[in-house]
Amino acid sequence: MKAPPFRYHAPASLSEAVSLLSNLENARVLAGGQSLMPMLNLRVAAPDHLVDLGRVSGLTGIVDEGQSIIIGAMTTQRAVERSALVARRCPLLAEAVAHVGHQQTRNRGTIGGSICHLDPGAELPVVAAALDAELRIAGPTGARRMKFRDFPEGYLTSQLAPDEILTHVAFPAIGARTGSAFLEFNRRPADFAIVSVAVQITLGASDIVTHAAIAFGGIQGAPVRFAKAEEALPGRPWSAAVGETLRRLVPELACDGDDLYPADYKRDLCGSLLVRAMTKAAARAGGRDV
């Protein structure tokens, strides 16, 4: 199949890109194209204009700002995967990004593209949810910042206005005595996740959990924080028994299913992946990598 007709724009600056988006009707941002181009060729998307951010300066790179790691939205997934800085300061993102598609698609796919596309099976939005990453957005009236928790609107849609561009994502850097883990289940390693989970926990004295963050992907239109479980964890050390307590909370998760992967099956996966991920994260927090 061939894409329906569209006009291609390649602005060189952010202001030019924003101005194009403000002035053009039915325009879409092209940010790597690993999802959008197939959608065009399948004719499930039919924008009249494509605004390619590939030549816009200032949108790539990974910077350590102390509290956060700031990643330009057009930074490729492969660059993030290969970044020693990300591996050290944001290991959850490093672990998750290796699951995104194939190496060939990671060479072109971008951090911002994945987060804005919000595919329910995508890995990066789940990390952004677990860490409540901060999104830096440019628009015709200037820049604004938004926490990821406020970002998704629904299935494949975000709060981004048609004339706004995600420019950077700030992922909180990992602190002391903190461990994270990302796990997903899919049929083949490079596929979108049927269910994925991103967790990060911090331990205090006597390995008592002081803070926990848990996000699931694949069970609803947008990533879901598992607040019940996050609240249940602090105050005791991680153990298999605590894991079983968490598993018993899983039936309360709202979960979308279909004929192939029904909701009860997805909840099975949530329980299993959650306990496995927490076990890993707790070991890592305690200084024992697994």
Partner 1 sequence: MGEASSRIGTSARRIEDAALLRGAGRFLDDIVLPDLLEATFLRSPVAHGLIRRLDVSAARALQGVHAVFTYADLRPLMTSDRMPLALPAAGLRFAVDPFVLAVDEVCYVGEPVALVVAQTRRIAEDAAALITLDLEPLPAVVDPVDALAADAPKVRRECPDNLVARTRIDYGDADAAFAQAPHVIGQQFRLSKGGGHSMEPRGVLARFDEAEDLLTVWDSTQMPHRAKAILVDALGLSERQIRVLTPDVGGGFGPKAVFHPEELAIPAAALLLRRPVKWVEDRFESFTATCGERDQVWTMQVAFTQDAKLLGIRGTLRHDHGASTPYGIALPYNAATNLIGPYVLPAYRIEIDLCMTNKTPSAPTRGAGRPQGTFVMERLLDCMARKLGLPRDEVRRRNLIAPSQMPYPIPVRQRDGSTMEYDTGDYPECQARALKAAGWTDFSARQAQALSEGRYIGLGLANYVEATGRGPFESVAIRIGPSGEIVASTGATAQGQGVKTMVAQIVADAFDVAPQAVHVVTGDTSATHAGLGAYASRQAVTAGNAAHRAARLIVEKAATAAAELLEVSRDDIEIVGGACRVKGVPEQARSLGEIARALAGTPGFALPANLPPGLSVATDYMTAGLTYTNGTHLAEVEVDPETGGVTILRYVVVHDCGRMINPMMVEGQVIGGVVHGIGATLFEWMRYDAEGQPLSVTYADYLLPTADVVPRIEIHHMESPTPLNPLGVKGAAESGTIGAPSALVSAVEDALRPFGVTITDLPVTPPALRRLMRAAAARSAA
List of residues contacting partner 1 (CB under 8 A)? 1-5, 42-43, 185, 187-192, 259-262, 265, 268-269, 271-273
The Cα-based distances of 253 to 53, 152, 271 in angstroms read: 37, 18, 10
Query: Is 148 or 192 the residue whose CB approaches partner 1 more closely?
Result: 192
CB of 6 to partner 1, least distance (A): 11
Name which of 159, 109, 140, 134 is nearest 17 in CA terms.
140
- What is the Cα–Cα distance from 271 to 243, expressed in whole angstroms? 9
Query: Is 16 or 191 the residue whose CB approaches partner 1 more closely?
Result: 191
The Cα-based distances of 124 to 14, 35, 182, 192, 236 in angstroms read: 23, 14, 10, 11, 29
195-203 β-sheet, strand order:
178-185, 195-203, 209-217, 224-225
CB of 97 to partner 1, least distance (A): 18
CB of 63 to partner 1, least distance (A): 34
Query: Is 12 or 46 the residue whose CB approaches partner 1 more closely?
Result: 46
CB of 129 to partner 1, least distance (A): 22
Query: Is 183 or 198 the residue whose CB approaches partner 1 more closely?
Result: 183
Query: Is 187 or 241 the residue whose CB approaches partner 1 more closely?
Result: 187
Name which of 184, 188, 124, 120 is nearest 155 in CA terms.
120
CB of 33 to partner 1, least distance (A): 16
